[in-house]
Structure 1
Amino acid sequence: MVHDLTGRGQDALAVAWSVLRDWLQVDEQGQEVFQLLANEPDRGIRALAARLERTGIPGFTAEVSGGMLGKLVQIASAEAVHVHQDREQPPGSPSRPAELPPDIAAFTGRISELEQLAELVDAAKMKSSTPIIVVDGPPGVGKSALTIHFAHMIAHQYPDGQLYVNLQGATPGLAPLNPIDVLGRFLRALGMDGKEIPVDTGEAATRFRSLASGRTMLIMLDNAASAAQARQLIPAGTGCAVLITSREVLATLDGVAHLHLSVLSAGEAVTLLGKFAGEARVTAEPEATSTLVRQCGLLPLALRIAGARLAARPSWSLQALAGRLLDERARLNELQLGDLAVRASFGISYEALSAVDGPAEAACARTFRLLGLLEAPDVSVDMVAALIGDSHEATDEALERLVDAQLLESPSPGRYQMHDLLRLFAREHAFRDDTQEDRRLALHRTFEFFLARARGASALLQPTDPRRTMQKGEENSWFATRSLALDWLEAERPNIVAAAQQAAAAPHEFGAIATQIADALFWFCHLRAYPRDLEMLGRLALTTAQRLGDREGEGQSLHNLSIANLRLRRFEEAVRHGNRCLELRREIGDHYGEGRTLDALGRIHYMMGRFDDAVEYGEKSLAIARRIQDRYSESAVLCNLVPAYQAMQRYTEAIACGQESLTIRTELGDRYGEGRMRMSLGVAYQASGRLDEAILCFEESLAVFRDIGDRYDEGRSLFQLALAHSLGGRLSKAIEYCERSITVRRETADRYGEGESLHQLGKLLSNIGDEQKARVSLNQALVIFEELGVPNAEEVRTLLATYSSGLDH
């Protein structure tokens, strides 16, 4: 094929790079040069420049090669490094996230924009500042595609990893993500345990900046809704770079460089169309091609759809498709800057999808329409199978056909996403082509899917909790292990929350199921430290239950809200919800619920330092549990009474409660509860001076946690063993356990626990006379405590001050 490389400007450069890339990827000698560029950049650059200078590449002339040599070499070098950038992470090294979505295979052109982005990054580095670049532009213009492609090009410059999040600032039906939720995801990606993540946005942002400090990372914030949303997600150090996409300019962000993205040039649009429809067909019909790209408004999204339609219909000419677009031409010209230009292209694609007379095509079109009803960030095959009421195999086929038609994206195997504008388009057609009853049943099936799965998973998380086990007649055949249940809940949590919100928005149709979904997610959010989700779901369920007159559901929602506020350390609010819940449950004669609420109020008062009240509430709850013969609740209340009695120095009662709770948990087969109870009982023994019994309890708890794979609590058990041996004067044994606890706590990203163990190790080393190592340990603990902003830091400073005054703190 002969390319016209004699033109000037970016069109000619784009075409030249397309030719060069083909040579590098296909030609044997080109592949050798490409390998050199990746593995020995200096030699590769010299080899490629030499080939270009002597026009040793088919399709190039001296004039073209000479005029573009520098830019072509630069682009080729970056592409080679990008393709070969993956490298194995050394064992034991800090968490190195690699969250960038896959690069865009059909990415075309944007040479000038890529150069500008590279220049902006380099300019910021020259000033020793963090490169922060906002790419803005209208919907469908390719902001995300350009930025993801550029991120892959420069990812090798950031060896500590890449973080990525879609902030949902342009997602119909979904609220923009809260910065605290994004910070939680980032902190988990950087290795922090979910239980240690702060619930305050400012504190979480501080922890994120601390973890990012000293690292060389690339962070991409896709689809930001506002400057306020993005501001807390930007690190403070100079080693990172931040790429942001948004429909807004985000002019109020400090230290930001801006790149406004407009439509493709005509040459780039033709190239992009050829990537999908085939270069030969585009070259054979130049006039129809020019007409078609104009009708598509030069928007990448519209061009992708048009190209895919042509690819799926090899007998069609480009003129035939251009003729079909002719009726929409006036509307496209009038709305070139608005969403309707894209919608017109969607209409042509959907018309072709639904016009074919066949069951598979009809099912595919129906799947597309019903997907528009969901307000979920992404979907799985099983979820969509419930939505459309079909088999897994048929659903998978329909989804893959939609991916082929560019009406869906598949970011990973088995997961699918619908573009924001396509979601609105599909919803419009669902309301036009499907009956109200069909739409209602589709949503009901989806909500029931989430409810049944969430209940099944929750039953594995807390199998001894009668309120959240499987409902009568239900079978839990989805999850073979507790670990699989946790993995599913973690992956689907955003979708389950969205389903609960969507169901609650139509209370008379789906209100009851909304409260049930919210309650089914309780244990997961409690265990994995998602208190804000707990609160939001609790408020949603409470409002819905009150609208429906569901007093039992109202009581459960108030109970969940009291626990959520306890986790958020809003104690007065927790007491208020707990008291309302207690009053309501007494009114309706819910004795089980009354007992559980009394127990919750006991825990809240213990956290507030009101130990007498905590014991009073606990003893009342215990009496109810025994009266109604609820062994699980009895065990839970006894467990919660242990620290309350211990705080009042009533050790005999604390130990008796712990022993009785342990007996019940063992009878119930609650291994996790057994491990926690053995550790709690050990602390009570230790506080009362019975060290040998305490050590035995800690060793038994350690064995349980290792058996069930609970690494977080394994670190706690090792630390308790270090304390117990220290109190017994066995310092070498204490140091051994302390060092082992530090290792586990580092591996599980338990920062507070690591500082706690380092602090204890410093004291132990000082006791054996090794002050040099003690100072190292204490200084490491001080750094952690100061980073976390906890009062332990002052104790460490005091201890360090007892050493030589010349210490560098």
Structure 2
Amino acid sequence: MLGPLVVYDGTGLTPVAGLKVRVLLAALLLQANRVVPKDALKEAMWGDRLPSSVEASFANHATRLRRILSATGDKRLLTVAPGYQLLVREGELDVEVFEGRAHAAGLAHRAGDWRKVRAESEAALSLWRGEPLADLAPFSEYRAPSLRVHQLDEARLQVHEWAFDADLHLGRHREICAELAALAAEHPLREALHRQLMLALHRSGRQADAFEVFHALRRSLVDELGAEPGAAVHQAYRELLDQDRGPEQEQGPEAEPDRAPPARSPSHGPVPVPVPVPVAVPRPWRSGAAAAAYPYQLPPSIPEFTGREAETAALLELLRRPVPRPDEDDADGDGAACGSEGHRTAAAPLRPVVISGMGGIGKSALAVHVARLVRDAFPDGVLYADLRGFSSGGARSAHDLLARFLADLGVRPDVLPDDTDDRATLFRAAVEGRRILLVLDNARDATQVAPLLPPDGPGAALITSRHLLADVPGVTMVPLGPLGPDEQLTLLSRLCGADRITDEPAALADILTACGGLPLALRIVGGRLASRPSWPLALLAERLTPHRGRLQALAMGSVAVRHTFDMSYLAMRASDNDLEREAARAFRLLGLWQPHAVTTRSAAALLGATEYDAAAALELLVDANLVHSPEPDAYALHDLLGEYAAQRAAEDVTGAEQESAILRLLTWYARAVAAACAVASHETQSPPPLAGPRDPGLPAFTEEADALAWTKRELPAIREAITRAGVLGRSDIAWRLAVGLFGYATTHWWTGEWDACLRQAMDIALAHDDTLGRAWLHRRIAVAHGMADRNEQCLEHLNTSLGFFTDAGDELAQASILGNLSGLYVQIGDAERGIAHAERSYELYRNVGNAASEALALSRIADAQEMCGEHALAAAYHQKVIEVLREQRHGVFLATSLTKLGDIHRQLGRREAALEAQTEALAIRQRMNDLGGTADCLAFMARTHHRFGEWEAARACWEQCLDLGLRHGMTQHIERSRAGLAELP
């Protein structure tokens, strides 16, 4: 019962299926061996809403329970008037065993036998697997025994406290700090835990942290109960004070607890720069007792705080900027202070600082960490408040927070104004000229924060928010991103031990990838590993596999990554602001397309919105740190947020809306790929466009390089689009996407990506008997084989494609395919067929009036003439082709023709003409970032230098070609370069 309800059947723990059966079993177990009236059991299961078939339903559930219990052996569930009796033997119920061990621990505690306290407590707590009866529905609905569960929780906390007392007596102060801090955070009003944490921190040499615990507890008690801590806590506080004061500070046992302890730097003892002692400024609205109070309200820091060196340094510089105090002003009172060289410099007021980032990124931890480091710069106090900007219970109002802050600063309740603006005015007057730091945690928006900001002067505000809060006046923003790899490893090591995580490097890498650099996720993982020492890392890594329950696995107790994300998304979804609700819709629809980034144009297609509206929604998501923008007009989801968005899409978006959104996006990609191909390839013929209105939001390409760069960047999304089109049965979209990569393949054919896309699209076209798609795919698959010198396969697909287009009477397609056949025959050394097919291609182009493509046919003829030994004639043809291509601004084709012309000049002994053409071709390839084409040019230039005995120049070209091949896995170029180098003398 101490966790989800399970039954031990002799071999293992078996969960109890069915909520009503679990409630029935729990009700019987809580009165084990006693007869429980049937009416009481029905009430536990259904409350006041008994169904009309209650008798039959109850009998069915009782039968199911008997079947489950039968695995334990003897007959357990007896029918005894007026109800049922569940037989449980001694030692069979974990609750009874726990209570026995707890009783023994209590006896040992009273006797001062601390080792026995430790042993019995560990035995008792080891029985707990989570919250008691964790898999029952809410107690208020099903009337489950909430009082008993509360008693068990209370007993568990008591055992923890006894165990911590034992640890403190046994000198295990450092070992218990982390666990104590976690429990104290879960129970902010439980004085015993905070007292023990104060002592453990203090005796571990962490005096500043111990003082923070006291002040946080006192603040919580005053806020929630209107009461001061008890005698035991004050006694512990006095122990801290007695040890912390120097001889000159000794003031007796009744030192004022409200006063913050003397400031220390985090690692080097007292701060070397002297800080003026604050002088209380008399103000008529302040009470005499509070006039000397210097509040210090930071919550306990996280012991395992890791990394963030750059952000910490930036925040320290912003908050420690020197600000003249009143007694440091110049005699003229002009607001200037003397610098180190005697010059007067104007006092620069401290600006509000906002730490922003996605939920779970560690904003609050960083703020508390930095606030502790700069406390020496704010001797008049530190005010802290959690604004609960994204809490399910609603954000705290500035009106109420001002009342609390003013009370902390000594303002009498009888002068507190009713109006918020008046309170803000009074607050600014109360902190005027005082070096006070306000830490405003978890702010929702600028409206919530603005009344709480101090006036210009020595005071400062450190704000955390999931939103950027760029509209806070004078704000300086410090955004937080995921932890780096080294920081992630360090944090996990601190949480569960370095030895533990280094034994399984592969599983460790998977875990770190699954956590995505999110500190919250890493802390949950570290906590799980620390509390389950027998678990191998591989087991947890498997549970953290993306899209297989990873978000559910990233939860421990009341802390969960999904819950943290919920607070951001649900606040936006429930907003009164139309734009915020539209942004929430955009977020969940983005989950349909993660992990791929979108632009404003592609997002507009996905959302079915205008580009303007899509941009507004995306920018709002960026401001809310639900989406990040890694580069201009690119928007992406963090890995974990992407998985969360996908879950939200599955839960909040209907199937029809999901299909419509994806179909809009796939259509957009098909048209965008076609546009890029038209510019990058100058293809002789484009596939017929998709039916329907044109999308006005397509990317605009003016240069080949732009089209190629876009296609390369979007290639993972294009491959995903082909897969999604197949799932939706849209072969017409799938094959157009694959065929449209022809432009990309003219420079990146060697990667093999195009081949994979064509094969996938062909499978889809065959499955849907798409004749047009098969014709175009055979045509492009032939080209892919030809580029890779797979000549037999190329010939097979060219002939198949030619048959399709001949049957369709498409002469333009026939002309293109005949040209490809010509190029293939030249490639395999059959010049006669090469010329015949090239001339037939040229005639067809002229017949259909496609002058732009005649240059391609002439180039084929030139290649065949060169093979026949007619070099001068081939050069003339190439020169004519180059003139046409210069007018068309066709970079890829022009570079190819220049390379071929240069090689013909080489064979004719024309060194300068050869190198001139090849140098121009190389410049074009490099400008287009065409790695394969660049390597080809270098190879041809190497042959030219070799032809004229320029060995060093040839060696340099071959070595550059080899380097490109090795760095980018271009096997053909590697082999060609090594062969060329071997031929050099």
Using a 3 Å threshold, how does the CA distance of structure 1 residues 761 and 376 change in structure 2: closer, same or farther? same
Q: Is the 8 A contact 1:370 1:430 kept in 2?
A: yes
Map Cα deviations across residues 193-242 of structure 1 (whole Å, 9 max, x no partner). Answer: xxxxxxxxxxxxxxxxxxxxxxxxxxxxxxxxxxxxxxxxxxxxxxxxxx
Q: Is the 8 A contact 2:704 2:891 kept in 1?
A: no
Using a 3 Å threshold, how does the CA distance of structure 1 residues 471 and 397 change in structure 2: closer, same or farther? closer
Q: 2:850 aligns with which of 630, 643, 647?
A: 630
Map Cα deviations across residues 349-392 of structure 1 (whole Å, 9 max, x no partner). Answer: 43333223442232122111211222552122222122112233
Distance 1:494 1:74 in 2: 33
Q: Secondary structure at the match of 2:629?
A: strand
CA apart distance, 1:399: 2.3
Q: Is the 8 A contact 1:458 1:524 kept in 2?
A: yes
Q: Secondary structure at the match of 1:382?
A: helix
Whichever residue aligns with residue 385 of structure 1, its letter is A
Q: Does 1:374 align with 2:589?
A: no
Q: Does 1:554 align with 2:774?
A: yes
CA apart distance, 1:796: 4.3
Q: 1:56 aligns with which of 272, 277, 287?
A: 272
* Aligned ranges 1:3-152 → 2 under 5 Å: 7=201, 52=268, 55-56=271-272, 106=363, 145-147=483-485, 149=487
Overall identity of the aligned pairs, in %: 21
Whichever residue aligns with residue 461 of structure 1, its letter is A
Q: 2:764 aligns with which of 523, 544, 547?
A: 544
CA apart distance, 1:430: 3.0
Q: 2:787 aligns with which of 560, 563, 567?
A: 567
Distance 1:7 1:427 in 2: 43
Q: Is the 8 A contact 1:558 1:581 kept in 2?
A: yes
CA apart distance, 1:522: 1.8
Distance 2:872 2:522 in 1: 83
Q: Is the 8 A contact 2:711 2:744 kept in 1?
A: yes
Q: Does 1:390 align with 2:609?
A: yes
Q: Is the 8 A contact 1:526 1:534 kept in 2?
A: no
More helix by share: 1
Q: Is the 8 A contact 2:826 2:864 kept in 1?
A: yes
CA apart distance, 1:779: 6.4
Distance 1:597 1:511 in 2: 23
Distance 2:559 2:199 in 1: 35
The equivalent residue for 1:607 is: 827
Higher relative contact order (CA 8 A, sep 6+): 1
Q: Is the 8 A contact 2:891 2:924 kept in 1?
A: no
Q: 1:504 aligns with which of 721, 726, 730?
A: 726
Distance 2:203 2:608 in 1: 54
Using a 3 Å threshold, how does the CA distance of structure 1 residues 258 and 523 change in structure 2: closer, same or farther? closer
Distance 1:547 1:713 in 2: 41
Q: Is the 8 A contact 1:666 1:674 kept in 2?
A: yes
Using a 3 Å threshold, how does the CA distance of structure 1 residues 615 and 355 change in structure 2: closer, same or farther? same
Whichever residue aligns with residue 860 of structure 2, its letter is N
Q: Secondary structure at the match of 1:790?
A: helix
Using a 3 Å threshold, how does the CA distance of structure 1 residues 548 and 534 change in structure 2: closer, same or farther? same
Distance 1:10 1:602 in 2: 83
RMSD: 5.9
Using a 3 Å threshold, how does the CA distance of structure 1 residues 346 and 488 change in structure 2: closer, same or farther? same
Using a 3 Å threshold, how does the CA distance of structure 1 residues 74 and 554 change in structure 2: closer, same or farther? closer
Q: Is the 8 A contact 1:49 1:73 kept in 2?
A: no
Using a 3 Å threshold, how does the CA distance of structure 1 residues 338 and 627 change in structure 2: closer, same or farther? farther
Q: Does 1:591 align with 2:591?
A: no
Using a 3 Å threshold, how does the CA distance of structure 1 residues 375 and 666 change in structure 2: closer, same or farther? same
The equivalent residue for 1:355 is: 574
Q: Secondary structure at the match of 1:606?
A: helix
Whichever residue aligns with residue 381 of structure 1, its letter is T
Map Cα deviations across residues 125-157 of structure 1 (whole Å, 9 max, x no partner). Answer: xxxxxxxxxxxxxxxxx997341657999xxxx
* Aligned ranges 1:562-711 → 2 under 5 Å: 562-651=782-871, 654-655=874-875, 657-658=877-878, 661-662=881-882, 664-665=884-885, 670=890, 673-674=893-894, 676-677=896-897, 680-681=900-901, 683-684=903-904, 687-688=907-908, 691=910, 699=916, 710=924
Map Cα deviations across residues 560-612 of structure 1 (whole Å, 9 max, x no partner). Answer: 11112223333332222222212222233222222222222332333334444
Distance 1:9 1:258 in 2: 37
The equivalent residue for 1:310 is: none
Distance 2:567 2:615 in 1: 24
Using a 3 Å threshold, how does the CA distance of structure 1 residues 53 and 662 change in structure 2: closer, same or farther? closer
**Which moves more between the two structures, 497-506 or 788-797?**
788-797
Whichever residue aligns with residue 714 of structure 2, its letter is E
Q: If the length of structure 2 is used for normalisation, what is the TM-score?
A: 0.43
Whichever residue aligns with residue 494 of structure 1, its letter is P
The equivalent residue for 1:491 is: 713
Q: Is the 8 A contact 2:265 2:271 kept in 1?
A: no
Structure having the higher Rg: 2
Q: Does 1:402 align with 2:587?
A: no
Distance 2:812 2:204 in 1: 73
The equivalent residue for 1:157 is: none
Using a 3 Å threshold, how does the CA distance of structure 1 residues 402 and 79 change in structure 2: closer, same or farther? closer
Q: Does 1:517 align with 2:737?
A: yes
Distance 1:576 1:9 in 2: 82
Distance 1:333 1:514 in 2: 35
Q: 1:461 aligns with which of 671, 674, 680?
A: 680
Using a 3 Å threshold, how does the CA distance of structure 1 residues 360 and 338 change in structure 2: closer, same or farther? same
Distance 1:333 1:502 in 2: 26
Q: Is the 8 A contact 2:600 2:633 kept in 1?
A: yes
Q: Is the 8 A contact 1:381 1:395 kept in 2?
A: yes
Q: Secondary structure at the match of 2:755?
A: helix
CA apart distance, 1:547: 3.6
Unaligned runs of 5+ residues in structure 1 are: 19-47, 60-70, 85-100, 110-141, 154-245, 274-291, 301-330, 715-743, 767-773, 801-809
Q: Secondary structure at the match of 1:416?
A: strand
Using a 3 Å threshold, how does the CA distance of structure 1 residues 765 and 297 change in structure 2: closer, same or farther? closer
Q: Is the 8 A contact 1:296 1:345 kept in 2?
A: no
Map Cα deviations across residues 540-562 of structure 1 (whole Å, 9 max, x no partner). Answer: 33233334433222111111111
* Aligned ranges 1:698-777 → 2 under 5 Å: 699=916, 710=924, 712=926, 750=934
Whichever residue aligns with residue 460 of structure 1, its letter is V
Q: 1:433 aligns with which of 641, 652, 657?
A: 652
Map Cα deviations across residues 395-418 of structure 1 (whole Å, 9 max, x no partner). Answer: 233223334444333333432222
Map Cα deviations across residues 669-727 of structure 1 (whole Å, 9 max, x no partner). Answer: 656645643553454455456x4xx9568757867x69xx725499xxxxxxxxxxxxx
Whichever residue aligns with residue 56 of structure 1, its letter is P
Whichever residue aligns with residue 354 of structure 1, its letter is R
Distance 2:807 2:606 in 1: 39
Unaligned runs of 5+ residues in structure 2 are: 1-196, 213-263, 276-303, 318-356, 367-479, 492-500, 530-549, 966-973
CA apart distance, 1:636: 0.8
Q: Secondary structure at the match of 1:589?
A: coil
Whichever residue aligns with residue 572 of structure 1, its letter is E
Distance 2:554 2:308 in 1: 35
